Each structure stands twice: as structure tokens, then as C-alpha cells.
Amino acid sequence: MNEITSTLHPVRRPWQRHLNKLRWLVLSLVFAMLIFLPMVSLYQTFAAAHGYDLLSPARQDFYDLMEALTSPFSEDPVSGLNGIKGTTWSGNFFGYQLSDPLAVVGQIAAGFEIYWPFVVSALIPLLATLLLGRFYCGWLCPATFLYELNSNVAALLRKSGLNFGRVRLDRRLKYLVLLLGLVLSGVFGSVFVAMIYPPAIIGRELYYAIALNGFGVGMVLFVLTLLFDILVARRGFCRYLCPGGALYSLLGRYRLLRIRRDVAICNDCVKCNSICEFGLNPMRDDFGQECNNCTACIAICPTDALGFTTAMHDLPDQGEGHLSPHFRRTGGVAS
Amino acid sequence: MSMQRRNFLQWLVRGTGVLAAAGAPYGLARVLAPAQPPSRVTKRPQRRTLRPPGALADDAAFRDACIGCGLCAEVCPPRCILFHAREGEADVNTPYIVPEEKGCILCMKCGEVCPTPALKAIPFTKADIFQQVDMGVAQIDRLTCYPWVDTGVCGACVLACPLGTRAIGFDFANLYRPVVKPDCVGCGLCVEVCPHPSLPIRVVASNEGTVTEHSVQKIGLPTHSPQGSGPGGVGGSGVLPF
């Protein structure tokens, strides 16, 4: 056995398995917020116009609903509901402007100049990514919410006997997409990555659909990515193509918060590997920069062998789990 | 590790090469394509869309700067800001205003929330709006506008103007004929209220003038001179042949 595992005390942290529920709560809240904010915007317009009687009956119902929902929080919808505006791509959160680092990078690539107020607005997400890794992908991204539901659909389809969606591509493809997206932004002079980045698409299209004239062209692309995930590769877009995922992976390479396996209580059941949306290998300590700290593997581990630690690097492969049948039979000699 | 990295770099270079080669014909065709031939038809496009107030003057720079986050539209009180959602090629996901449907009320909230340099934050004072906002200028077609062709009294555009007499006023000689002044910032509220079905008032680029010039004045008409001098020479003097 190597020294690292012998000095490591097996600390069971059973509460961490509930983090996945928390994550789902956060994901649902973010998605609900992206639906709710355009509705608030619409409601504010109606309220500001003082034209309730002129609204169509359907819009009057909508007005009543929004009034019922928001009246506990604010008496004056026109000026009192401005706390949160925007999407996860760029938004205003109680006075703080927050932007996606990819938006800043893409915009700099498109215009070849740096606008500091915009860069500053991406600072908090950037720092969080440096510390927490690709957490945005797992915990906040509104597209992840739909993609994980989509993964469940794909799993159901597979269970019903349709055998597809098992292709494995090279994970580094997404870095090429990021590079290409930035180059195209520079060449064609509009923020190209914004058109192919699913969370930006989702935020925008929900706004178009609810407050403006209906879905735009981005929805077509998003449905294509859903089909790609079902038919070609599980979570294929996030794993292999997403430019934002590529940027966050690079930024989160030396993240401080990581998931680590406690080899002394691991029983090699492979559940973590099969649950991992990004196709990583937690059972053999292979997390790498791609891991988004989504805690799905922690939640499913039957022996609580997986948990968060603070470290700059993953452990090298620690070998068989000490509770695995093979290890117990051989006493670890074979490993 | 370094071997992996080298492999990866080689792979990256190769991949870029393949993609560049695949995209080259399109790029070349696009670069070498001749510019759109100048149209003989001087009829202005039916709908010139405006950018929100405070937008960068250069539209290409605006496209570069805008990340399509939708914040400007979300805070816009009259919701006059729309988005190129399905059309518009390079303009896709950028905001615009159609003054025929809904004009801008110049509240300046969009510039306040815009995270990028696309929309400049302009203080909500009349002086700053006059000085810094340049969405265009309203232009009146004096051959259509009701008071200008003496078919009625109107003045809707003058009443709707949020900027008052510095932007639009009445003609000195006839108290119902609207006259746009160069200080107009092009918010489009006059277009929104204009009762004429063909909208004799519209917002154009600020260098196009406040009075519509008619195409017959510009391209001239073929002259049918009794002498028969050449096959339908075009009157270049810019005056009608009578």
C-alpha cells in the first residue's frame, strides 16, 4: 500500500450524500427563476401601463396570478421587483452585476478590446471557478437541469431495449470548440460562443418565449443537442462540445474543492462510474479537471467512501477498494 | 504527462487544420463575393430598425460588444426593445427597436443595466439625452403628412415628443405642419403615434436629413424630348423635366 492511504484516516461524512438533493434544489430554483423573471418583466409592463381593463382575458388572468405571487414581497411591482434581472449569462443580482466568464472572453475575442466594468462583473464567478472548479456546470447551469432529465429519458429508452447513445468521443474536443468559437468571434465580429452555449441559449429563449414573440433560432440548436445526447453520447454536448465547459475545466484544473475516494472503505461497486454524467472514473481516482463536483457519485456511494476534500491535486490511482471482494480475498497483495 | 500533452497539441493542430481546410471554400467565397450592386431603386426600406439609446454608433462595433443577454429588454418599461431571434444573420440575438410598433421613451434604463460597452449609460437628464443619444432623426414626408398636404390638422407627433420644441415643432407659416429640428434624437415616439396609414414620419439615420427627398428628384426621369436626343437620356440635373 502506498503511504498516502495509510496516513489518511477514514472519515465518513454521511451528510455529504444529501448534497445532491441540495444541488437539484438549486438547479430547479435557477431554472424556475429563468421562467419567473420574464413573467415578472411582463407583469411590470402591464402594471406600469395602468391598463388592466385593456388587457385580454388571458392576460388579465396572468396579471392576477403574478399579483398573487408577488404581492407578499412587494406592494409596488414597477419599482419593487427589480432585485434580480437577467439570466445566468449575465444578470443583475441585488445590485451586483454578474457575468459568465465565457461571455467576457467571447466579447474580448469579438471586439479586441477590454471593457473593465464587464470584466469585473465576471470576477466573482471566475474566483468561484478557480476555487470550486466546474461547479457552474453541475450546480447552476439551466441547461444541465434539462440535460440531466434528458439523460434519464435516454436511460429509460436504453432500458426499453434501444441500444444507442454509447459513443465515446475525445473529451478534448470541447477545447477545440472553445478555441474555434473565439476565433470565429474575432473573424465574424459577433459573440459567436453566445449562440452555441446552451445556458445562454436557455436563458435567452425562455425570455423570448415568455416575454417576446416566441422561441428563436437558438431553440433549434438546443433541441439538436438534446437529440445528440440521447442518440450519440450521454451528456455528449457537455462532455465533448460545450465551450463554457472547456473554459471552466481549464480554470478549475487546480481547484481547491475536490471529491476524493477513501480507499479503505471503498468496495469497488462501480456505481460511481456508472452514475457519473461526465463519464469519469471516480472508482480509480480519475476525476481530473473535467469533474464538476456535482456530488452524484457521493450520493450513490453505498459505503460513503467518496467525499469532498480540499486539495490542489487528485490522488494517483489508489488501487482496489479495501472492502472489495477481490481485495479481501487476496489481502491486497495482488494490487 | 508531457507525451500526452504533445499528443494533444498535435491533435489540436491537426484538428484545426482539418476544420480550416473544410471552412476555407466558404470563407474564400465570402471574402471574394462582390459587394451588393447598388440598387436603382431608391425606395427606402420599409422598416429601418433602431438600436436602443446609448448604442455604439458603429453597428459592427455594437455587434461585437453585445453578448445577447437580454437585460436591456427585461428592464425596458414599455418593452419596446425586441431581439433578432430568428432572423438577422450577424445581428442575431442583438436588440432593436421598431418605432412603428413601439417607440423608445428615453428612460435610459437599458444603458444602466447593460454589462457591456454596447449600450452606454447616459444620465436621465434632458441635456445628456440631447448631447449623447443618437438613434437617428425623424424625417417627415411632406408629400404625405396630412397638414403638409392640407388634408387636416394633426400635430400628434409634436404632442408625443418627449423632448419638446427643441426636437420637433410647428412650421412658422402653418401652425399644424410639423417640422423636425436637428436636435431630434430619433426615439420614434412620433412614429408610434402617427395616424397616417403610410407613416409619413419615420426615423432615419441622422445624416439623412429631416425632410424626405423623393426618388424622382434623385434619379430623375427619362426625358422624352421632342428632338429625340439619344435613347431616353437620364436627366442628371435632378429636376423634373417639366
Nearest to B85 among A85, A175, A212 (CB): A212
Chain B residue with CA closest to A188: the answer is B90
pLDDT over 60 at B217, yes or no: no
pLDDT over 80 at B240, yes or no: no
Phi, psi at A143, each rounded to 5°: -75, -35
Chain B residue with CA closest to A175: the answer is B12
Does the residue B194 lie in any domain?
yes
Task: Look up cell 445590485; give the residue.
Answer: A95
B118 with B163, same domain: the answer is no
Enumerate the β-bridge partners of residue A166: A233
B104 with B152, same domain: the answer is no
Distance separating alpha carbons of residues A165 and B44, to the nearest angstrom:
52
Mean pLDDT of B1-21: 80
Here the cell at position A130 is: 478557480
CB contact under 8 A, B16 and A180: yes
Structure-model confidence comparison of residues A25 and B172, the more confident one: A25
Does the residue B8 lie in any domain?
no
**Residues B5, B10, B13: CA angle, nearest 5 degrees:** 125
CB count within 10 Å of CB B71 equals 28
Does the residue B9 lie in any domain?
no
Q: Taking a C-beta distance cutoff of 8 angstroms, is the pair A218, A207 a contact?
A: no
Mean pLDDT of B177-185: 91
Structure-model confidence comparison of residues A143 and A334, the more confident one: A143
Confidence of residue B40 (pLDDT cuts 50, 70, 90): very low
Query: Which B residues 1-30 touch A at CB under 8 Å?
Result: 8, 11-12, 15-16, 19
Domain boundary (B113, B133, B153) is at: B133
Which residue in A144, A121, A153, A152 sits closest to A34, CA to CA?
Answer: A144
Of the candidate ranges A12-16, B48-52, B233-237, the one whose mean pLDDT is the lowest: B233-237
Residues 6+ apart with CB under 8 A from A226: A146, A147, A150
Q: How far apart are the CA of A188 and the nearest CA of chain B, in angstroms? A: 8
CB count within 10 Å of CB B237 equals 9
Mean pLDDT of A240-256: 93
Domain boundary (B101, B133, B165) is at: B133
pLDDT over 50 at B47, yes or no: no
pLDDT over 80 at B218, yes or no: no
Q: What is the pLDDT of residue B233?
A: 41
B114 with B141, same domain: the answer is no
Domain span at residue B115 reads: 45-133
DSSP annotation string for A9-41? -----GGGGGHHHHHHHHHHHHHHHHHHHHHHH
**Side chain identity at B130, as an amino acid letter?**
F
The fraction of chain A above a pLDDT of 90, given in percent, is: 62
Q: How far apart are the CA of B214 and the nearest CA of chain A, in angstroms? A: 35
Domain boundary (B75, B102, B133) is at: B133
The fraction of chain B above a pLDDT of 90, given in percent, is: 37
Q: What is the pLDDT of residue B14?
A: 86
B120 with B196, same domain: the answer is no
Kindly report the CATH number assigned to the domain that includes residue B192.
3.30.70.20
Mean pLDDT of A145-155: 93
pLDDT over 50 at A228, yes or no: yes
To the nearest whole number, what is the mean pLDDT of chain A? Answer: 89
Q: How far apart are the CA of A288 and the nearest CA of chain B, in angstroms? A: 13
Which residue in A4, A7, A27 sits closest to A295, CA to CA?
Answer: A27
pTM: predicted TM-score of the whole model, two decimal places: 0.81
CA atoms within 13 A on the CB side of A144: 25
B161 with B123, same domain: the answer is no
Residues 6+ apart with CB under 8 A from A177: A196, A241, A242, A243, A246
DSSP annotation string for A89-149? SEEEETTEEEE-HHHHHHHHHHHSS--HHHHHHTHHHHHHHHHH-SHIIIII-HHHHHHHH
pLDDT single digits (tens) A277-335: 999 999 999 998 999 999 999 999 999 999 999 989 889 988 898 999 988 888 877 54
Confidence of residue B222 (pLDDT cuts 50, 70, 90): low
Here the cell at position A326 is: 477481490
Contacts of B63 in chain A (CB under 8 A): 110, 189-190
Enumerate the β-bridge partners of residue B138: B203
B69 with B126, same domain: the answer is yes
The fraction of chain A above a pLDDT of 70, given in percent, is: 96
Torsion of CA A6, A10, A11, A13, to 10 degrees: 130
Distance separating alpha carbons of residues A125 and B81, to the nearest angstrom:
28
B172 with B186, same domain: the answer is yes
CB contact under 8 A, B70 and A87: yes
Whether ipTM exceeds 0.90: no
pLDDT over 90 at B27, yes or no: no
Mean pLDDT of B89-105: 87
B127 with B144, same domain: the answer is no
Kindly report the CATH number assigned to the domain that includes residue B51.
3.30.70
pLDDT over 90 at A25, yes or no: yes
B141 with B165, same domain: the answer is yes
Q: How far apart are the CA of A269 and the nearest CA of chain B, in angstroms? A: 29
Chain B residue with CA closest to A206: the answer is B70
Contacts of A180 in chain B (CB under 8 A): 16, 19
Confidence of residue B88 (pLDDT cuts 50, 70, 90): confident
**H-helix segments, chain A:** 3-7, 19-49, 57-70, 77-80, 101-111, 116-121, 123-132, 135, 142-159, 173-188, 193-196, 198-211, 218-231, 236, 243-251, 271-275, 296-300, 325-330
B97 with B140, same domain: the answer is no
**Side chain identity at A329, as an amino acid letter?**
R
DSSP character at residue A265: G
Nearest to B75 among A42, A85, A191 (CB): A85
Q: How far apart are the CA of A227 and the nearest CA of chain B, in angstroms? A: 21
Distance separating alpha carbons of residues A97 and A179, to the nearest angstrom:
26
Residues 6+ apart with CB under 8 A from A246: A174, A175, A177, A178
Chain A residue with CA closest to B8: the answer is A172
CB contact under 8 A, B78 and A45: yes
What is the count of residue pairs from A and B with beta carbons less than 8 Å apart?
Answer: 138
Chain B residue with CA closest to A37: the answer is B74
Mean pLDDT of A65-79: 90
pLDDT over 70 at B235, yes or no: no
pLDDT over 70 at B130, yes or no: yes
Of the candidate ranges A117-131, A138-152, B139-153, the one whose mean pLDDT is the lowest: B139-153
Does the residue B228 lie in any domain?
no
Does the residue B39 lie in any domain?
no
* Structural domain count, chain B: 2
Does the residue B37 lie in any domain?
no
Does the residue B233 lie in any domain?
no
pLDDT over 70 at B2, yes or no: no
Q: How far apart are the CA of B71 and the nearest CA of chain A, in angstroms? A: 5
B72 with B122, same domain: the answer is yes
Angle between helix A19-49 and helix A198-211 axes, rounded to 10 deg: 30
B140 with B209, same domain: the answer is yes
pLDDT over 70 at B20, yes or no: yes
- Look at phi and psi of residue B55 and say left if phi exceeds 0, alpha if psi is from -120 to 50, else beta: beta
Torsion of CA B27, B28, B32, B36, to 10 degrees: -30
B107 close contact with A: CB closer than 8 A:
no
Cα diameter, chain A? 82
Does the residue B101 lie in any domain?
yes
Contacts of A207 in chain B (CB under 8 A): 70, 73-74
Chain B residue with CA closest to A200: the answer is B69
pLDDT single digits (tens) A177-201: 999 999 998 888 788 888 899 999 9
Q: How many residues does chain B have?
A: 242
